[in-house]
Amino acid sequence: MGETLPRGPGGAQLPRDAVSRPVRVLRVKMVLLGSSGVGKSSLALRLVKSEFRSTSPTVGSAYLTHVVHLSNATLRFEIWDTAGQEKYHSITPLYYRGAHVALLVYDITKRETFIRAQVWLRELERHYIPGSTIIWLVGNKGDLAQQRQVSPQEGQSLADDRGLSFTETSALTGNQINELLLSVAHRVYDCNGAQQGSLTEWEETPLVDLHHRHTANSFASCC
């Protein structure tokens, strides 16, 4: 029978070479920003569960986690999917404050979302310290390329001008999703790894069997 490898946070199986060495789990705060309807929630779901599901507009925010194993560390992404509706705009800074990564998402078939992404970018630039937050421009809905209103060259040009990274993805088909996540993981560890002190370690809180503890206390207090 094959050897069963131990599992890390979230049940993800650890690489074989990680079995003999302690695993350092570092917390990474990621926030998804962009207009309503650009596919942020679908993108987050594809990142975390590798599946696609049509979603309703996010109210306030949604929170997900996902673990990525690198050769010398494990990153636990704590992902905040924010609402894109204008009425929630004033509370969004609460979610991206202190983020290590911001995915700035637009819909390649709707130019107004690309323009809106630039508004979000200006907001971010007012609140973050240069070098502390990795901003990644993401053109979503690549599966609808025949309907595109924003060319890849425009996205890349904006990214180059503002010092961002850029990727076009499709939450529907999963195209470039894994590549995006792995690139982000390597980039955030290289820029904000434990050696710089920006990423803190995460430890899983052990579960407490309250029934067992109550029983033990009962016996302890007896006589």
Secondary structure letter of residue 83 according to DSSP: -
CB 54 within 8 A of CB 103: no
CATH of the domain at 119: 3.40.50.300
Task: With respect to residue 132, please indicate whether it lies within any of the assigned structural domains.
Answer: yes
Amino acid at 82: T
Instruction: Output 101 or 218, whichever has higher pLDDT.
Output: 101
Task: With respect to residue 139, please indicate whether it lies within any of the assigned structural domains.
Answer: yes
**Residue of 73, 155, 140, 76 whose CA lies nearest to 109:** 140
pLDDT of residue 196: 56
pLDDT of residue 197: 57
Using pLDDT thresholds of 50, 70 and 90, give the confidence band for residue 6.
Answer: very low
Q: Where are the beta strands (DSSP E) in 98-149?
A: 101-107, 134-140
Question: What percentage of the chain exceeds 70 in pLDDT?
Answer: 66
Amino acid at 216: A
Residue 133 has pLDDT above 50, yes or no: yes
Residue with tokens 């695993």: 23
Task: With respect to residue 3, please indicate whether it lies within any of the assigned structural domains.
Answer: no
Sign of CA dihedral 1, 17, 23, 181: negative
Instruction: Output 135 or 124, whichever has higher pLDDT.
Output: 135
Per-position b or e across 196-215, b if 16+ CB within 10 A of its CB: eeebeebeeeeeeeeeeeee
Using a cut of 0.85, tell me whether the model's pTM lies above it: no
pLDDT of residue 69: 93
Range of the domain at 25: 9-221
Sign of CA dihedral 81, 121, 25, 91: negative
pLDDT in tens, 33-79: 998 899 999 999 999 998 887 654 444 468 899 999 998 889 999 99
Task: With respect to residue 198, please indicate whether it lies within any of the assigned structural domains.
Answer: yes
pLDDT of residue 168: 98
pLDDT of residue 61: 60
Task: With respect to residue 57, please indicate whether it lies within any of the assigned structural domains.
Answer: yes
Using pLDDT thresholds of 50, 70 and 90, give the confidence band for residue 217.
Answer: very low
Residue 1 has pLDDT above 60, yes or no: no
CB 186 within 8 A of CB 71: no
CB 111 within 8 A of CB 149: yes
Number of domains into which the chain is organized: 1
Taking each helix axis as running N to C, give the angle between helix 177-192 and helix 40-49, from 0 to 180 degrees, rounded to the nearest 10. 80
Task: With respect to residue 69, please indicate whether it lies within any of the assigned structural domains.
Answer: yes
Q: Which residues make Cβ contacts (< 8 Å) with residue 83, sequence separation at least 6? A: 36, 57, 58, 59, 60, 61, 92
Task: With respect to residue 4, please indicate whether it lies within any of the assigned structural domains.
Answer: no
**Residue of 58, 94, 66, 95 whose CA lies nearest to 80:** 95
Instruction: Output 57 or 132, whichever has higher pLDDT.
Output: 132
- What's the average model confidence in pLDDT over 88-107? 76
Between the CA of residue 11 and those of 8, 29, 67, 172, what are the distances in Å?
6, 20, 9, 25
pLDDT of residue 176: 96
pLDDT of residue 81: 86
Q: What is the dihedral of CA 122, 94, 41, 64, to 10 degrees?
A: 130
pLDDT of residue 132: 76
pLDDT in tens, 52-64: 876 544 444 688 9
